[in-house]
């Protein structure tokens, strides 16, 4: 495919001139305003709620509590379940209310909703609500929560264990470990982070009594999926809910979910007969958005006496928080283990993951959704093996890669990789990074008093196609434009450009006449949303097939116009012609001949399921540490990625930059910290929670190494999260490489200046593993 | 934010009258700390008396061997001012690295020192240069002006009108930024002034403080190695999520060394 049709994104004019339409930009002057009283403590019984003073406050319209929601028949906020083996433990799914009833389980949990004429009045009145609590001791650490006698978060989750998840072949793995010449073990903590999209969580809710229809204007990644989740809570058919959105200010997975406030305000709108607006604050997003990671990880690698990997096994403890978010099971289990042994030729492996309830915010899908947990564990374990066994970090990897001739490659955990060329990707990265010139660069850094480190890491991840058929509709409008409909909503990716490009390349129509429409009221298209790096793979493919359907219909119309048989018509560069003649008619001409008819004879659609794809790559980072301050800089970062066929390199590069930056953000500072005594979130604002800045990721080099997949007609693999999945292990290993010469053996992220400096001081004092947060035993 | 009354003062005298009439009223300078606290409902003044319209509080001028900066001069204004850049380039650089562009275009020197945030930059500049704070009632030496966090020598109703800085022989300010807030985790202002060498530290403790041992060593020899082995005790330093006290103590030495090197350039 040619790439010369990219001239910037179609959505950019709107975005950079401040004329986007975000959730609260929809105009509802008659809306009432909601504000939520939130739990000021992490764990307590609710003894009583007295809202009389709030109700008496001038301008207050209504107050809703958990009891009102129960009376309205509200169901639990939903959890997407995943298939389990018949013999395995089933996950426990405690009720998750939209407003706390009986008990609060995390600081920030919504308890009461006050609705007033203005936001200011609602906020004032919220302070007049008095809640009597009976304090309970909180537990915020996952290992603490598993201890006997720990505070119980849910009565129906004994021992705070939501799920004891098991994947792979334990007996086969144990047999291979028994034969091992060496077993290498490694522990690490993949710490908790908060997504922080630019647009805080918010909504406008409207109920149309005449149509008995709910309309939710909120940030979203997939309007129809979100509508289905809202409908579950309300106890109505999905068709009775419309999620409406034009622009969404970032999502990263956490805006794919349904949240309590959406459902409460929809009920309020129904009760009051007017729209209800909730202008959620940044503080509320910090406290109660789905959070991410928080995995205590232990991995073991069995090797033979030649350094060949025999098997791997993992034991992990995931802090899932006070409730299960919609993706709280999937992202913490199968998403972690699907690529259980990475790019390595190790078909037999085993993993056990305990999902634990604590008095913290719910943890769920966030860029990479589980895959960065495994990529980090795996590549830090392999790096540990190279160090412990004094093997070359390139050769230990190269000697164990799945070879090109081994595809399709099936593992005992049910995953089959369809294609790849891992060694070629590795070699590209080594060449681009001048791997052999490192020692000279390290010496040069040392002259300036700096510690230089470098690391190579590989990654592979599954991108989440499959599930339900993803539908693309193409409709030729009366104004001559072509509308594309899908439920894959952009939250920054550039769908308007990339889907238009796919269609434009098939039909030869100008990009500017093709309009993507994803979040409109009344729109009914099937399929998932944006998430799991699936949009181009699945919706892109459906648009590609849908556009081909237009060509097929066009051939029949052209055949009539040209008085020929459809089989004799060819289509090229937007024109139909009779093969071997100069008789032709353009698609544009055919569109115009029928312009204004509904349905237009060329209208088409396509709905298909596509197989999981496995983007992979080799990343090499060089970092430099100022040992005097602990400040660490990324000097260079080479990412060579096989994401299959590249539709538009600029958009791929944008996704990779975003993913790498998000990974770097976690590695260098982002960290959600809860106070172990009080259960309060200590990093609840940008004063305490550092976001990555542009200077952190200067000098990224992103190189495509496409190995097309046959699993979808575009030959594309997902790219949205690959950068993050690759960046966490690569940067972790590079930082440890820089610190090893001064005696550091273990270093858990984040690499804040304080922690890096402390690691150096601890190593000097003979404590090389002082910065290791947890250790586990495989069992 | 809670509801509050708002008035624009026409003059310093007008502001003094308004503030005297209402004990719960607050002066509004650039508002870069106060407004943020009010938005979070952490501060609830009954009224704001805005000094923003008083044009004659925004100036810089050289008076003999001092530089005088009007209290309502914004950080951006001070950073760009030719007089400041020539007379005390370290002060211009300090002002030019406060917060971000938005903060620098709103925040003022008077507001900053009246707030006395323990991690603010100007307190280090004032103490480091041996400045004098000029108010509606008196002149206060910087050494006597700053108390512990958010405390100053200002009396109720007293308004800062200007700050007078002796022009030093050489000076520099180096700060180590908090990764999240970009406030000074530790900032060290070093100056060789007509009255001697001064070393002022912000961010590390509950308020700005001087390091006598460093001042003595630098008086003997103004060179980075003079302070390289001088440690401040960690006992009274701040400890939080971002930095333990021992790390802050260590950074005081490192930043002091780097400031001396920069001042010596």
Candidates B1, B36, B103, B180: best to mutate against A (most CBs of A within 10 A) is B180
Q: Given this model, what pLDDT does residue A580 score?
A: 86
* A209 and A126 both lie in a single domain: yes
| Residues of B whose CB is below 8 A from A283 | 40
Task: Judge contact between A519 and A244, C-beta under 8 A.
Answer: yes
Q: Given this model, what pLDDT does residue A1 score?
A: 42
> How far is A280 from A265, CA to CA, in rounded Å?
12
- Is pLDDT larger for residue A105 or for residue A87? A105
* A217 and A95 both lie in a single domain: yes
Helix (H) or strand (E) holding A778, with range, is none
Radius of gyration of chain A (CA): 27
A343: in domain: yes
Q: Label each residue of chain B as H, E or C.
A: CCCCEEEECCCHHHHHHHHHHCCCEEEECCCCCHHHHHHCCCCCCCEEEECCCCHHHCCEEEECCEEEEECCCEHHHHHHCHHHHHHCHHHHHHHHCCCCHHHHHHCEHHHHHHHCCCCCCHHHHHHHHCCEEEECCCEEEHHHHECCCCCECCCCCCCEEEEEEECCCEEEEEEEECCCCCCEEEEEEEEEECCEEEEEEECCCCCCEECHHHHHHHHHCCCHHHHCCCCCCCCCCCCCCCCCHHHHHHHHHHHHHHHHHHHCC
> How far is A199 from A111, CA to CA, in rounded Å?
23
The alpha carbon of residue A690 is apart from the nearest alpha carbon of chain B, in Å, by 4
Residue in chain B nearest A755 by alpha carbon: B243
| A86 pLDDT higher than 80 | no
A683:B251 CB<8 A: no
* A262 and A119 both lie in a single domain: yes
The alpha carbon of residue B173 is apart from the nearest alpha carbon of chain A, in Å, by 17
The alpha carbon of residue B59 is apart from the nearest alpha carbon of chain A, in Å, by 31
B234: in domain: yes
B151: in domain: no
A124:B2 CB<8 A: yes
* A651 and A751 both lie in a single domain: yes
| Residues of B whose CB is below 8 A from A629 | 176, 251, 254
Q: Given this model, what pLDDT does residue A3 score?
A: 47
The alpha carbon of residue B156 is apart from the nearest alpha carbon of chain A, in Å, by 29
**Nearest by CB to B247, which of A688, A691, A758?**
A758
**Nearest by CB to A686, which of B2, B180, B241?**
B180
Q: Each residue of B154-207: pLDDT tens digit? A: 999 999 999 999 999 999 999 999 999 999 999 999 999 999 999 999 999 999
Q: Each residue of A226-260: pLDDT tens digit? A: 999 999 999 999 999 999 999 999 999 999 999 99
Residue in chain A nearest B39 by alpha carbon: A281
| Residues of A whose CB is below 8 A from B41 | 123
The alpha carbon of residue B40 is apart from the nearest alpha carbon of chain A, in Å, by 9
| Residues of B whose CB is below 8 A from A192 | none
Q: Given this model, what pLDDT does residue A88 score?
A: 81
Look at residues A338, A366, A399 and name the one whose alpha carbon lies nearest to residue A612: A338
Q: Which residues are CB-contacts of A685 (< 8 A; sequence separation ≥ 6)?
A: A282, A283, A286
Determine what percent of chain B is predicted with pLDDT higher than 90.
99
**Nearest by CB to A629, which of B1, B3, B176?**
B176
| Residues of B whose CB is below 8 A from A191 | none
A618: in domain: yes
Q: Given this model, what pLDDT does residue A465 score?
A: 65
| Residues of A whose CB is below 8 A from B250 | 757
> How far is A221 from A215, CA to CA, in rounded Å?
16
> For chain A, how many structural domains are there in total?
3
* A216 and A351 both lie in a single domain: no
Q: Given this model, what pLDDT does residue A347 score?
A: 94
Instruction: CATH number of the domain at B223, please.
Output: 3.30.390.50
Compute the residue count for chain A. Answer: 779
Q: Each residue of A405-431: pLDDT tens digit? A: 999 999 999 999 999 999 999 999 999
* A426 and A512 both lie in a single domain: no
| Residues of B whose CB is below 8 A from A683 | 180, 241
Average pLDDT (A475-496) is 95
Chain B residues with at least one Cβ partner in A under 8 Å: 1-3, 40-41, 176, 179-181, 241-244, 247, 250-251, 254
* A538 and A589 both lie in a single domain: yes
Task: Judge contact between A647 and A716, C-beta under 8 A.
Answer: yes
> How far is A113 from A262, CA to CA, in rounded Å?
11
Look at residues A231, A293, A265 and name the one whose alpha carbon lies nearest to residue A28: A265
Instruction: CATH number of the domain at A230, please.
Output: 3.90.1170.50
Instruction: CATH number of the domain at A333, please.
Output: 3.30.365.10
DSSP secondary structure string for all residues of A339-368: TTTTTBS---EEEEEEEEE-SS--B---TT
Give whole-number Cα distances, A151 to A45, A107, A137, A142, A595, in Å. Answer: 13, 15, 6, 12, 67
The alpha carbon of residue B262 is apart from the nearest alpha carbon of chain A, in Å, by 17
A185: in domain: no
Average pLDDT (A299-325) is 98
Average pLDDT (A128-146) is 98
A686:B251 CB<8 A: no
Where does the pLDDT of residue A85 fall: very low under 50, low under 70, confident under 90, or very high at 90 and above?
Answer: confident
B195: in domain: yes
Look at residues A166, A171, A36 and name the one whose alpha carbon lies nearest to residue A108: A36
Q: Given this model, what pLDDT does residue A466 score?
A: 66
The alpha carbon of residue A459 is apart from the nearest alpha carbon of chain B, in Å, by 29
Q: Given this model, what pLDDT does residue A89 score?
A: 86
| Residues of A whose CB is below 8 A from B181 | 686-688
Candidates A449, A627, A754: best to mutate against B (most CBs of B within 10 A) is A754
Q: Each residue of B154-165: pLDDT tens digit? A: 999 999 999 999
Decide which of B9, B33, B56 is a domain's last residue.
B56
A629:B251 CB<8 A: yes
A682:B241 CB<8 A: yes
Helix (H) or strand (E) holding A657, with range, is helix A649-668
Average pLDDT (A421-449) is 98
* A635 and A509 both lie in a single domain: no
Decide which of A560, A588, A608 is a domain's last residue.
A608
Q: Given this model, what pLDDT does residue A154 score?
A: 98
B164: in domain: no
Q: Determine the 3-state secondary structure of A205 from DSSP.
A: strand
| Residues of B whose CB is below 8 A from A121 | none
Specify the pTM: 0.96
Where does the pLDDT of residue A83 fall: very low under 50, low under 70, confident under 90, or very high at 90 and above?
Answer: confident
Helix (H) or strand (E) holding A27, with range, is none
The alpha carbon of residue B153 is apart from the nearest alpha carbon of chain A, in Å, by 27
Chain A residues with at least one Cβ partner in B under 8 Å: 120, 123-124, 283, 628-630, 668-669, 673, 682-683, 686-691, 752-754, 757-758
> For chain B, how many structural domains are there in total?
2
Decide which of A608, A625, A658 is a domain's last residue.
A608
Domain that holds residue B214: 170-263
A415: in domain: yes
Q: Where are the alpha helices (DSSP H) in A291-415?
A: 334-337, 371-388, 393-398
The alpha carbon of residue A757 is apart from the nearest alpha carbon of chain B, in Å, by 8
B17: in domain: yes
In the predicted model, what is the mean pLDDT of chain A? 96
Where does the pLDDT of residue B233 fall: very low under 50, low under 70, confident under 90, or very high at 90 and above?
Answer: very high
Decide which of B35, B56, B77 is a domain's last residue.
B56
Residue in chain A nearest B36 by alpha carbon: A687
A120:B3 CB<8 A: yes
CB pairs under 8 A between A and B: 41
A162: in domain: no
| A553 pLDDT higher than 80 | yes
A154: in domain: no
Determine what percent of chain A is predicted with pLDDT higher than 90.
94
Q: Each residue of B113-130: pLDDT tens digit? A: 999 999 999 999 999 999
Residue in chain B nearest A684 by alpha carbon: B180
B241:A120 CB<8 A: no
A669:B179 CB<8 A: yes
Instruction: CATH number of the domain at B49, please.
Output: 3.30.43.10
Residue in chain B nearest A626 by alpha carbon: B254
* A443 and A583 both lie in a single domain: no
Q: Given this model, what pLDDT does residue A4 score?
A: 55
Residue in chain B nearest A670 by alpha carbon: B180
The alpha carbon of residue B3 is apart from the nearest alpha carbon of chain A, in Å, by 8
Task: Judge contact between A298 and A142, C-beta under 8 A.
Answer: no
Q: Given this model, what pLDDT does residue A82 score?
A: 83
| A606 pLDDT higher than 60 | yes
Decide which of B24, B40, B56 is a domain's last residue.
B56
The alpha carbon of residue B209 is apart from the nearest alpha carbon of chain A, in Å, by 21
Q: Label each residue of A73-84 as H, E or C.
A: CCCCCCCCCCCC
Where does the pLDDT of residue A2 fall: very low under 50, low under 70, confident under 90, or very high at 90 and above?
Answer: very low
B205: in domain: yes
A753:B176 CB<8 A: yes
Q: Are strands A110-116 and A32-38 parallel, antiparallel or unpaired?
A: antiparallel
Decide which of A561, A576, A608 is a domain's last residue.
A608
* A616 and A585 both lie in a single domain: no
**Nearest by CB to A754, which of B40, B242, B254?**
B242
Q: Each residue of A627-681: pLDDT tens digit? A: 999 999 999 999 999 999 999 889 999 999 999 999 999 999 999 999 999 999 9
Average pLDDT (B69-97) is 98
Where does the pLDDT of residue A298 fall: very low under 50, low under 70, confident under 90, or very high at 90 and above?
Answer: very high
Where does the pLDDT of residue A66 fall: very low under 50, low under 70, confident under 90, or very high at 90 and above?
Answer: very high
* A47 and A79 both lie in a single domain: yes
Where does the pLDDT of residue B13 fall: very low under 50, low under 70, confident under 90, or very high at 90 and above?
Answer: very high
* A71 and A93 both lie in a single domain: yes
- Is pLDDT larger for residue A140 or for residue A81? A140
Give whole-number Cα distances, A104 to A101, B213, B243, in Å. Answer: 7, 53, 32
Query: Which residues make beta-bridge pairs with A420?
Result: none
A686:B244 CB<8 A: no
Domain that holds residue A271: 23-136+198-250+254-288
A689:B180 CB<8 A: yes
Site of tokens 């300010």: B173
A629:B243 CB<8 A: no
Average pLDDT (A342-354) is 97
């Amino acid at each position: 495919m040619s790439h010369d049709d990219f001239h910037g994104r179609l959505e950019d004019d709107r975005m950079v001139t401040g004329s986007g339409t975000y959730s609260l930009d929809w105009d509802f002057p008659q809306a009432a305003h909601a504000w939520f009283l939130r739990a000021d403590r992490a764990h307590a019984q609710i003894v009583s709620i007295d809202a009389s003073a709030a109700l008496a406050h001038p301008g207050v319209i209504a107050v809703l509590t958990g009891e009102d929601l129960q009376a309205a028949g509200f169901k639990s906020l939903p959890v997407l379940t995943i298939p389990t083996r018949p013999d395995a433990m089933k996950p426990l799914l405690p009720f998750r209310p939209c407003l706390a009833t009986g008990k609060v389980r995390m600081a920030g949990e919504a308890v009461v909703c006050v609705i007033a004429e203005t936001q200011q009045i609602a906020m004032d009145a919220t302070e007049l609500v008095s809640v009597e609590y009976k304090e309970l001791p909180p537990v915020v650490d996952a290992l603490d929560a598993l201890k006997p006698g720990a505070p119980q978060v849910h009565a129906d989750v004994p021992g705070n264990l939501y799920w004891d998840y098991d994947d792979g072949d334990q007996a086969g793995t144990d047999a291979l470990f028994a034969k091992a010449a060496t077993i290498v073990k490694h522990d690490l903590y993949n710490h908790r982070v908060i997504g922080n999209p630019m647009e805080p969580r918010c909504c406008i809710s409207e109920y149309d009594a005449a149509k008995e229809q709910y309309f939710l204007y909120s940030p979203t990644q997939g309007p129809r999926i979100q509508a289905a989740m809202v409908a579950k809570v309300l106890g109505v058919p999905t068709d009775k809910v419309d999620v409406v959105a034009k622009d969404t200010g970032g999502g990263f997975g956490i805006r794919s979910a349904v949240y309590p406030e959406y459902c409460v305000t929809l009920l309020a709108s129904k009760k009051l007969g007017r729209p209800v607006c909730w202008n959620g604050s940044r503080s509320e997003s910090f406290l109660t958005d789905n959070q991410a990671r928080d995995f205590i990880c232990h991995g073991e690698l069995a090797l033979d006496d030649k350094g060949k990997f025999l098997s791997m096994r993992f034991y992990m403890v995931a802090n899932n928080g006070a409730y299960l978010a919609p993706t709280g099971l999937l992202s913490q289990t199968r998403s972690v283990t699907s690529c259980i042994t990475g790019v390595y030729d190790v078909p037999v492996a085993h993993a056990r993951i305990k999902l634990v309830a604590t008095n913290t915010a719910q943890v769920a899908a966030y860029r990479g959704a589980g895959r960065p947990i495994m990529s980090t564990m795996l590549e830090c374990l392999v790096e540990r093996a190279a160090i412990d066994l004094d093997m070359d970090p390139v050769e230990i990897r190269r000697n164990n890669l799945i070879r090109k001739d081994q595809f399709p490659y099936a593992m005992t955990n049910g995953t089959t990789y369809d294609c790849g060329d891992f060694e070629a990707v590795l070699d590209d990265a080594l060449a681009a990074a001048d791997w052999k010139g490192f020692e000279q660069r390290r010496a040069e850094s040392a002259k300036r008093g700096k510690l230089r480190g470098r690391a190579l890491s590989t990654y592979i991840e599954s991108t989440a196609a499959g599930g339900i058929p993803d539908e693309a509709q193409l409709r030729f409008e009366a104004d001559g434009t072509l509308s594309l409909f899908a439920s894959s909503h952009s939250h920054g990716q550039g769908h308007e450009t990339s889907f238009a490009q796919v269609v434009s390349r098939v039909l030869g129509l100008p990009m500017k006449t093709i309009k993507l429409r994803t979040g409109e009221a009344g729109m009914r298209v099937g399929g998932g949303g944006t998430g799991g790096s699936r949009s181009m793979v699945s919706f892109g493919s459906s648009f590609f097939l849908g556009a081909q359907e237009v060509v097929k219909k066009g051939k029949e119309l052209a055949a009539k116009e040209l008085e020929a048989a459809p089989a004799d018509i060819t289509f090229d560069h937007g024109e139909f012609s009779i093969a071997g003649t100069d008789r032709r008619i353009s698609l544009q001409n055919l569109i115009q001949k029928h312009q204004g008819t509904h349905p237009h004879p060329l209208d088409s659609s396509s709905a298909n399921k596509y197989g999981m794809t496995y983007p992979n790559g080799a990343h090499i980072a060089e970092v430099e540490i100022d040992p005097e301050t602990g400040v660490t800089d990324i000097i260079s970062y080479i990412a060579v990625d096989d994401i299959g066929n590249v539709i538009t390199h600029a958009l791929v590069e944008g996704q990779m930059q975003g993913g790498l930056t998000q990974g770097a953000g976690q590695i260098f500072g982002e960290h959600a910290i809860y106070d172990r005594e009080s259960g309060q979130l200590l990093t609840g604002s940008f004063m305490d929670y550092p976001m990555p800045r542009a200077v952190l990721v200067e000098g990224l080099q992103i190189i495509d190494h496409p190995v097309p997949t046959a699993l979808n007609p575009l030959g594309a693999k997902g790219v949205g999260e690959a950068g993050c999945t690759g960046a966490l292990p690569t940067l972790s290993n590079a930082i440890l490489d820089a610190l090893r010469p001064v005696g550091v053996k273990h270093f858990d992220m984040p690499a804040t200046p304080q922690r890096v400096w402390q690691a150096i001081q601890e190593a000097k004092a003979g404590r090389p593993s002082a910065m290791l947060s947890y250790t586990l035993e495989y069992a | 934010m809670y509801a509050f009354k708002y008035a624009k003062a026409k003059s310093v005298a007008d502001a003094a009258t308004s503030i005297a009439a209402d004990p719960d009223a607050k002066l509004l300078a650039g508002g870069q700390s106060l407004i943020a606290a009010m938005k979070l409902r952490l501060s609830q003044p009954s009224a704001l008396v805005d000094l923003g319209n008083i044009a004659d509080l925004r100036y810089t001028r050289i008076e003999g061997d001092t530089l005088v900066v009007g209290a309502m001069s914004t950080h951006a204004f001070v950073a760009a001012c030719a007089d400041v850049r020539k007379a005390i380039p370290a002060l211009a650089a300090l002002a030019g690295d406060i917060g971000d562009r938005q903060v620098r275009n709103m925040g003022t020197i008077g507001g900053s020192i009246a707030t006395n945030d323990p991690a603010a930059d100007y307190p280090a500049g004032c103490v480091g240069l041996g400045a004098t704070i000029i108010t509606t009632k008196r002149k206060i030496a910087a050494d006597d002006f700053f108390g512990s966090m958010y405390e100053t020598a200002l009396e109720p109703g007293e308004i800062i009108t200007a700050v007078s800085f002796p022009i030093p022989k050489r000076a520099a300010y180096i700060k180590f930024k908090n990764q999240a807030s970009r406030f000074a985790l530790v900032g060290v202002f070093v100056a060789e002034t007509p009255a001697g060498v001064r070393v002022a530290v912000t961010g590390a403790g509950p308020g700005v403080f001087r390091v006598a041992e460093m001042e003595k060593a630098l008086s003997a020899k103004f060179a980075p190695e003079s302070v390289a082995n001088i440690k401040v005790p960690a006992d009274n330093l701040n400890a939080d999520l971002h930095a333990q006290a021992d790390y802050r103590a260590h950074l005081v030495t490192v930043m002091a060394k780097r400031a001396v090197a920069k001042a010596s350039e």
